[in-house]
Amino acid sequence: MNAIEWKGKLSAIRDSFSVSITKEPAENPEALELHFLGRKGELALLLRDLKDIPLEERKPLGALGNTAKQEMEAKLAELKGATGAAGPAVKAGIDLTLPGWPFPKGSLHPLTHTMNRLAEGFLKLGFTMADGPLIEDDYHNFEALNFPPFHPARDMQDTFYVDAKDSGGKSLLLRTQTSGVQIRSMEKQDPPLRVFHTGRVFRSEAVDASHSFAFHQIEGLYVDKGVSMADLKWTVDTFIKDLFGSAVKTRFNPSYFPFVEPGAEVDMSCIFCKSAAGRCPVCKGTGWLEMLGAGVVHPNVLKACKYDPEKWSGFAFGAGIERFAMLLYGISDMRMLYENDLRILKQVQ
């Protein structure tokens, strides 16, 4: 190769480098570096060919080659800066301009949302949050709540019994209601007291659209001097209106629970059938939805907790969380709340 040919080759390499470096989208600068400036790169091979050229011509050619090399290095450094090519991602051949893998955002379960909303309602009314165990003893789940052994009201709340060697002689069961938290709260604290609790309960029930062997309840208890049914009515009515809107009405029907006297079931006016009364599938055309059990705390319950019933009185209420969740989010079958089908869960964010 003579000097003229060598110069021609150098300018061809520079041209091809200029084309490569200005390509859109940008080429991987590491690959370009290897191709042009690497040990076996185009420019390195050309510089090696200098040895075939007479000594006196070699010097200025070498200088030309070096200038070309420096220019290429500077351009490559610029490109690396623009693409962040110095990082390990580019070294590994990862294209940072591609969209990332979808990373779906999790969210709270509709039942958790509902419990939080109910809790907010009672916190606003000055209630504090109380707690109790899921594995409960017979005394707190039944006896202290005025269900003596063999009381027929126990039949409605059959459950799962726990056979534990270290139960200290207590008969243990999965709690059937959150009402035991009433007892545990009064045992812990002197009156006056205003508490609520949300949590899971269990019953030996066949699963269908409105029953499950495990479900959730909210419980409330207020004990003070002179607390009456009127306080209960105001509290429940305010709470329901806060959740479902002020147009909703509530009504109390007499009912029986061993731990309250008088006892009531609380209905709210159906929120679905305003225009189609008589045919609404949710309230079965009655215009009312049963929402809570409630009543004035039975003196036997106060006595069991060493509260003097002559001095103190209170009200208690309890309700199924699933019912609230289904109404708040328009879910028609309770099982949808447990199947964890993302198509359902995603609708409640």
Across the strands, what pairs with 161? 173
- Please tell me whether residue 289 binds ligand PHE under the rule CB under 6 A: no
Q: How far is the CB of 285 from ligand PHE (least distance, A)?
A: 25
Strand (E) or helix (H) holding 265: strand 260-269
Q: How far is the CB of 179 from ligand PHE (least distance, A)?
A: 4
Cβ proximity of 298 and 261 under 8 Å = yes
Stretch that binds ligand PHE, among 46-54, 74-82, 288-296, 305-313 (CB under 6 A): 288-296
Q: How far is the CB of 318 from ligand PHE (least distance, A)?
A: 2
- Please tell me whether residue 318 binds ligand PHE under the rule CB under 6 A: yes
Q: Give the Cα separation of 84 and 90 in Å (integer).
A: 8
Residue number, 41 or 320, with CB nearest to ligand PHE: 320
For residue 172, which amino acid is it?
L
Residues 146-205 touching ligand PHE, rule: CB under 6 A, are 177, 179
Q: Give the Cα separation of 196 and 128 in Å (integer).
A: 6
Strand (E) or helix (H) holding 238: helix 229-244
Residue number, 179 or 313, with CB nearest to ligand PHE: 179
CB-based closest residue to ligand PHE: 318
Quote the DSSP letter at residue 96: T
Among 316, 325, 326, 336, binds ligand PHE (CB under 6 A): 316
- Before 149, cis peptide (omega within 30)? no
- Please tell me whether residue 257 binds ligand PHE under the rule CB under 6 A: yes
Q: How far is the CB of 150 from ligand PHE (least distance, A)?
A: 19
Cβ proximity of 224 and 314 under 8 Å = yes
SS3 98: coil
- Please tell me whether residue 110 binds ligand PHE under the rule CB under 6 A: no
- Please tell me whether residue 260 binds ligand PHE under the rule CB under 6 A: yes
Q: State residue 312 phi and psi, 5-degree precision.
A: -120, 145
Among 65, 110, 180, 295, binds ligand PHE (CB under 6 A): 295
Would you state the structure tokens that stand for residue 259, as one six-digit string?
Answer: 């731990």
Q: Which spans of this chain sit near ligand PHE (rule: CB under 6 A)?
A: 177, 179, 219, 257, 260, 293-295, 316-318
